[in-house]
Structure 1
Amino acid sequence: MPYVLLAAAIAAEVAGTTAMKFSDGFTRLWPSLLTVVGYVVAFGLLSVTLKSLEVGTAYAIWAGVGTAAVAAIGMLFLGEPATAVKLLGIVLVIAGVVLLNLGGAH
């Protein structure tokens, strides 16, 4: 169950970050509200997850998967360039999360 909550926290963070892109510096109401709601939900779910998972493990997964997902969304849907360096960066982020988990996840 903690990993389901963590996945939901990641989804909320990705949604909040994506909405932030459309908030135009928090000058547009609905994307701004979606950003705030996304982050409140994300941190709330992450805090519940931390009752069952180690903080290093949970945060590495949350931040790493969220970062990779937002980068992919930018490249796939928002017209950001998909360069070899960006793709390598995503691979390295994911590899880092895997290594941190191998080093101490339960």
Structure 2
Amino acid sequence: MYRSMMTGYIRNNQAKKAIDLFSEINNPDRVIINLLFNACAQLGTAKELSLVKKVSLNIPKSFHSDPFIQTSLIDALMKCGDTLAAQSLFDTIKTRNLFIYGAMMKGNSHK
């Protein structure tokens, strides 16, 4: 239910509602975390940057090696204005895919 609602909010440019809904979720899975990072990227403010950093520090370690999480986290960091953190994360990723490169290139083109 939460996944569908968050996806709907994000697709309809209501990222704030998706973020508010996230606060109700206990033990979010990879998909929910990915959706949160996407919602934060859509808003791109310092407040969302703070949330992205807080959540990324508290997710299970196994999530950090997930390419979908890596890509959405890089995208969120870039769109929220922390290009250095995005670059640092990118540099730590051993196996980079096209989407991860794309997130970095897109973020760097909007600086």
Q: Which TM-score applies when normalising by structure 2? A: 0.28
Flag the structure with more relative contact order, 1 or 2, with Cα contacts below 8 A and sequence separation at least 6.
1
Q: Which TM-score applies when normalising by structure 1? A: 0.29
